[in-house]
C-alpha cells in the first residue's frame, strides 16, 4: 500500500524501518484501555519546542491537531504548549490510552498563568494502534510513543495515522531522539525535515 513509503531523495524507503522497537509482545486491544499501564508515564515541558515552531509557521493550515501519547495521566503538557501556538479556533486533541488527569493539567504553567483554559485541549481515550482517530487532522504528533509498541503495532499505528490525516497534512514523530516532520501525499509520506540528536538545530 502506498502509505508504507516515504520518498527520500527520489528513492522509496519504508517509513516503518525508521522506527525500530525492542518490544515484542502485542497488548490485547480493548482491554488495555481499562487496564493499569505497567510502564511509567513520563514527559517534560518544552520537549517539542522545535516542532511547535514549525506548527506555528504553518498555523493557518492547521484547524485540527492531535497529540498522540502526550502522557494524559500527567496532564498532557506538550499538547497545551502546542495549543498555545495554534490559532484560537483550532481543535486540539490529547490522545492517549490512559485517562486524562485534570488536576495535573491544571498545574501546567500555561493553564496556571491563565494563558489557556483547561478545556482548550480535548482529551481522547483512544489507542492509535487499534483504529484511526474519529476526526480528520491537519497535523498529528506522535512523540516517544512507538517505543511502547511492537513492530506490528507501529505498522498499524502509522497506517491509522495516515488515514486520520488530510491530504498534505503533517506528521511529526520523535523516536530514539530523532524528530522528523512528514507531509501526507496521495500515496504515502514525504520526509520534510529530520533532526538528528547530534545536530544543533531548532527541531
Ligand X SMILES: C[S@@+](CC[C@H](N)C(=O)[O-])C[C@H]1O[C@@H](n2cnc3c(N)ncnc32)[C@H](O)[C@@H]1O
- Binding residues vs ligand X (CB under 6 A): 37, 41-43, 47, 68-71, 78, 95-98, 127-129, 143-145, 148
Which CB, 46 or 61, lies closer to ligand X? 46
Which CB, 37 or 151, lies closer to ligand X? 37
Provide the minimum distance between the beta carbon of 158 and ligand X in the complex, in angstroms, as a whole number.
Answer: 12
Which CB, 41 or 185, lies closer to ligand X? 41
Residue facing ligand X at closest CB distance: 69
Question: CA 63, CA 52: separation in Å to the nearest integer?
Answer: 15
Q: What single string gives the DSSP state of each residue in 148-172? A: GSBHHHHHHHHHHHHHHEEEEEEEE
Provide the minimum distance between the beta carbon of 203 and ligand X in the complex, in angstroms, as a whole number.
Answer: 14
Provide the minimum distance between the beta carbon of 202 and ligand X in the complex, in angstroms, as a whole number.
Answer: 17
Provide the minimum distance between the beta carbon of 80 and ligand X in the complex, in angstroms, as a whole number.
Answer: 12
Question: Which three cell numbers mark 30?
Answer: 480493548
Which CB, 26 or 61, lies closer to ligand X? 26
Which CB, 40 or 113, lies closer to ligand X? 40
Which CB, 16 or 148, lies closer to ligand X? 148
Pairing of β 137-143 and β 64-68: parallel
Q: What single string gives the DSSP state of each residue in 37-96? A: P-SPP---TTTTHHHHHHHHHTGGG-SEEEEES--GGGT-HHHHHHHHHS-TT-EEEEEE
Over the range 126-152, which residues count as b (16 or more CB within 10 Å of their CB) and which as e? Answer: bbbbbebbeeebbbbbbbbbbbbbbbe
Question: Which three cell numbers mark 82?
Answer: 502546542
Question: Which three cell numbers mark 20?
Answer: 525500530
Residue 24 CA, chain-centre distance (Å), reads 22
Provide the minimum distance between the beta carbon of 60 and ligand X in the complex, in angstroms, as a whole number.
Answer: 25
Contacts of residue 119, Cβ cutoff 8 Å, sequence gap at least 6 = none
Provide the minimum distance between the beta carbon of 5 and ligand X in the complex, in angstroms, as a whole number.
Answer: 22
Amino acid at each position: 500500500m502506498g502509505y508504507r513509503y516515504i520518498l527520500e531523495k527520489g528513492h522509496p524507503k519504508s517509513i516503518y524501518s525508521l522506527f525500530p522497537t525492542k518490544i515484542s509482545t502485542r497488548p490485547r486491544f480493548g482491554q488495555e484501555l481499562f487496564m493499569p499501564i505497567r510502564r511509567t508515564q513520563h514527559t517534560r515541558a518544552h520537549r517539542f519546542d522545535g516542532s511547535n515552531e514549525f506548527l506555528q509557521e504553518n498555523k493557518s493550515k492547521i484547524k485540527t491537531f492531535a497529540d498522540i501519547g502526550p502522557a494524559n495521566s500527567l496532564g498532557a503538557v506538550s499538547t497545551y504548549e502546542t495549543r498555545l501556538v495554534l490559532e484560537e479556533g483550532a481543535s486540539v486533541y490529547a490522545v492517549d490510552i490512559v485517562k486524562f488527569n485534570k488536576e495535573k493539567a491544571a498545574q501546567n504553567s500555561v493553564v496556571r498563568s491563565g494563558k489557556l483554559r483547561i478545556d482548550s485541549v480535548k482529551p481522547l481515550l483512544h489507542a492509535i494502534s487499534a483504529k484511526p482517530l474519529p476526526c480528520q487532522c491537519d497535523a498529528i504528533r506522535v512523540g516517544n510513543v512507538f517505543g511502547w509498541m511492537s513492530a506490528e503495532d507501529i505498522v498499524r499505528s502509522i497506517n491509522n495515522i495516515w488515514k486520520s490525516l488530510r491530504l498534505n497534512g503533517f506528521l511529526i514523530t520523535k523516536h530514539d531522539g530523532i524528530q522528523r516532520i512528514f507531509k501526507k501525499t496521495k500515496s504515502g509520506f514525504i520526509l520534510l525535515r529530520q533532526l538528528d540528536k547530534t545536530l544543533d538545530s531548532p527541531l
